[in-house]
A and B are shown apart, each in its own frame.
Chain A
Amino acid sequence: MGEEYRVRLHEYQSKELLKRYGIRVPLGRMAHTVEEAVQAVRPLMEGSGNPVVVVKAQIHAGGRGKGRFAEHPDLPGVNVVLEGRAGGIKAAEERVRELSKRMLGSTLKTAQTGAEGKQVNRLYIEQGVDIDRELYISVVLDRAAGCNLVMASTEGGTDIEEVAAEAPEKILREFIDPAVGLLPFQTHALSWKLGFRGESYRNGCRLITSLAHAAEGLDSDLVEINPLVVTGTGEVVALDGKVSVDDNALFRHKDLLDLRDLSEGDPAEIEASKYDLSFIKLEGSIGCLVNGAGLAMATMDTIKHVGGEPANFLDVGGGATTENVTAAFKIITRDPNVRGIFVNIFGGIMRCDVIARGIVEAVRQVGLEVPLVARLEGTNVELGKQIIDESGLNLISALDMKDGAKKIVELAR
């Protein structure tokens, strides 16, 4: 995808997008520094009339409220500042200063970040909201039905997966027919079943309609508000917001490319995307260079099956050039955990000679300090093998995928 490296959005960015579709979100300001965080307090308290503010870590992972910082094991990723109630703006600012100092630059570990956690570089300072009820609502792609689905529940604030497992009857569903969109009777039914009554019934309907529009307008495969809160005065406000955009639709959403936070991505994954490589770093020691996503996954499976651990998923794709393959090889060898490389190619569109040239070229450029097993099959396989043989490089060839996996796992021990 090159330039169009996938877009992932922070909470504050998602909320900004939802706001464009008429969804109410709390007042908030993003802060890169402690000073910016402190400066956000006054306008938020004055603008909302609410003395409570919330300081939220912005990382590309969920579960932040329950997550804790590696450096401060008692500190959660989301903190409510109540000091403003008694002490006014000054007291709130001091508390925000103290919290931001500890949160910025520290590592937040949540259920979704993995054990290594993620460094917090941005905070979102938000007004407090007076909560009466917490709901769940999302628009998500239903693959089996082949269309979007509005999913809602009165059980807001908890993982929808938990609700689905424990009380499936509490999940409301309405499919969106792409020919006509979400219809009024469906919004009415959802609003009613979510317990909206009186004036807030209309607010509920409006929110649901807006959310469906947002999902379509943003080419989103998931728009989720959890919790969606109903305030004491019957207002409907998105307290959290998650928008996941379909990478394939970015050609018609160029503005979203500016929202990318490249400090969040793995540098190797970003580098790979520049060369049209699909790359995911994993924890093992066997580097993999494969053509085709299915074959790449199956190669990882086979390595595991014979007792090894893959260091990455790497699909060079069907249209790769020698230059792409060279780049792929460099990305793999840069990982210090890699103790062996397995090249597994079944040439279809991808020709074996292109792969072979790429490998030979890469080894010339960066050298080869670990064993390499190559299994080539398919289009131009003889030419590919000949190029490797004539290169004089110390590469081991394999009969088939399993044979190759066994050999490389053995050699990497």
Chain B
Amino acid sequence: MSVLIDRSTRLLVQGLGGAGRFHTDRCIAYGTEVVAATHPIRAGESETFEGETDPGGVPGRPDRYRVEVPIFATVRDAVRETGANASMIFVPAPFAADAIMEAANAGLDLIVAITEHIPVLDMVRVKRYLEGKGSRLVGPNCPGVITPHQCKIGIMPGYIHREGRVGVVSRSGTLTYEAVHQLSQNGLGQTTAIGIGGDPVHGTTFVDALEMFERDPKTEGVILIGEIGGSAEEEAATWIAENMSKPVAALIAGTSAPPGKRMGHAGAIISGGEGTAREKISALEAAGVVIAPTPTDMGEAMLDALRRAGKV
């Protein structure tokens, strides 16, 4: 078991530019079933991907892969012809909001938006548009989602992941890799790792991810990686205190950040004393979450949380 994606996932790629093409290739090498792409000008053509199979990906495949991905004009066409049920979006920022809404309109179950620098008011409209529709959005401005040895949708290095027991959810890309790497090293492994992205208005939240991991029978514990700004970590703490039966560990980045400065992520800004690392850490601690004092201690904090729950 896992959450969001597994071997049955059929992926559509929106935006086959340089980055889109490169990462689609890496996803195929990992073993992801890429069934379609959309491109307004190249519709009717197909894109060939071939190379050496990523040995860290889906097991039991030949050493080399060669895949012809058909290109469609619209997401609706692609879904009708190929049965795609998930999308990965690399469309440039000015057009990315439209791409997300097109995917939702076509009824895809999962939309993973990798694109960064989408205007925040575009995301406000997207969020409203998604209400009442069956699609789940992850991102934007995120590394994506991976279920080790089953399916990789996104830009994360596949080979650091190991199938295992811990759900990972994070606002930061590179810190997700850091956590995953430590969980692979200490043998805990991951069920699914979800990068929810660093933008102030985004799809899947910490609470959404925690709910999914709580329901997933294979996930034994969750590591949550948050950062300064906003109140998503505080909301997660409240949900954990009220609903979570599984142990949770967390890291909050930005304890040393000066207020009022934007630390790369648009979401990472402390304004008016709200969203400081200290506030977030104490809210999580009060909910019984084990806090990693530095990023190097994330794997250890997860072990500690599992130990306290009698699971190690």
Contact = CB atoms under 8 A, between A and B. Distances in A.
Interface of A: 1, 112, 141, 143-144, 146-148, 161, 164, 177-179, 216, 219, 221, 246-249, 251-252, 278, 280, 282, 290-298, 300-305, 310, 313, 315, 318-319, 346-349, 377-379, 400-403, 405
Interface residues of B, number: 63
A141 B120 contact: yes
A247 B200 CA distance: 13
Of residues B225, B227, B296, which shows the largest number of chain A Cβ atoms within 10 Å of its Cβ? B296
A400 B160 CA distance: 15
Interface in B218-265: 225, 227-228, 230-232, 235, 251, 253-258, 260-265
A283 to B, nearest CB: 9
A313 B155 contact: no
Contacts, number: 174
22 contacts: A1-B117, A143-B232, A143-B267, A146-B127, A146-B128, A146-B201, A178-B128, A219-B119, A282-B258, A292-B172, A293-B263, A294-B225, A294-B265, A295-B174, A297-B228, A300-B256, A301-B254, A304-B256, A313-B264, A348-B156, A348-B173, A403-B296
Nearest to A177: B128
Nearest to A281: B261
Contact of B227 (A144, A278, A294, A305): A294
A216 B121 CA distance: 8
Given A246-B120, A249-B119, A401 B264 contact: no
Interface of B: 19, 23, 93-94, 117-125, 127-128, 143, 155-157, 160, 170-175, 177-178, 181, 198, 200-201, 225, 227-228, 230-232, 235, 251, 253-258, 260-268, 272-273, 277, 293-297
Nearest to B154: A348
A63 B19 CA distance: 44
A219 B253 contact: no
A401 B201 contact: no
B128 A147 contact: yes
A403 B295 CA distance: 11
Contacts of B201: 141, 143, 146
A293 B255 contact: no
Majority-rule SS of A interface residues:
mixed
Contacts of A402: 294-297
Contacts of B157: 347-348, 378-379
Given A144-B231, A178-B128, A348-B173, A298 B263 contact: no
Given A147-B128, A297-B268, A246 B174 contact: no
A293 B264 contact: yes
A301 B256 contact: yes
A159 to B, nearest CB: 8
Nearest first, the 7 closest Cβ-Cβ pairs linking A and B are A294-B172, A293-B264, A292-B174, A295-B174, A249-B119, A402-B296, A294-B175
A348 B231 CA distance: 28
A246 B119 contact: yes
B294 A300 contact: no
Contacts of B172: 292-295, 297-298
Of residues A144, A164, A347, which shows the largest number of chain B Cβ atoms within 10 Å of its Cβ? A144
A291 B143 CA distance: 13
A292 B160 contact: no
A143 B200 CA distance: 6
Contacts of A403: 296
A147 B124 contact: yes
A405 B119 CA distance: 35
A294 B257 contact: no
Contacts of B256: 297, 300-301, 303-304, 310
Contacts of A301: 253-256, 277, 294-295
A202 to B, nearest CB: 28
A147 B123 CA distance: 9
A63 to B, nearest CB: 12
Nearest to B235: A144
A251 B263 contact: no
Contact of B263 (A141, A280, A318, A348): A280
Contact of A291 (B127, B174, B230): B174
Contacts of A179: 128
A304 B200 contact: no
A346 B23 CA distance: 17
A320 B228 CA distance: 25
Nearest to A251: B94
A296 B263 contact: yes
A164 B155 CA distance: 42
A315 B261 CA distance: 14
B268 to A, nearest CB: 6
A252 B121 CA distance: 12
Of residues B124, B268, B273, which shows the largest number of chain A Cβ atoms within 10 Å of its Cβ? B124
Contact of A294 (B19, B94, B117, B174): B174
A112 B257 contact: no
Contact of A248 (B118, B127, B260, B268): B118
A17 to B, nearest CB: 16
Contacts of A293: 172, 198, 263-265, 268
Nearest to B178: A346
Contact of B94 (A147, A161, A252): A252
A302 B173 CA distance: 18
A80 B174 CA distance: 52
Contacts of B267: 143
Contacts of B123: 146
Contact of B93 (A144, A148, A248, A303): A248
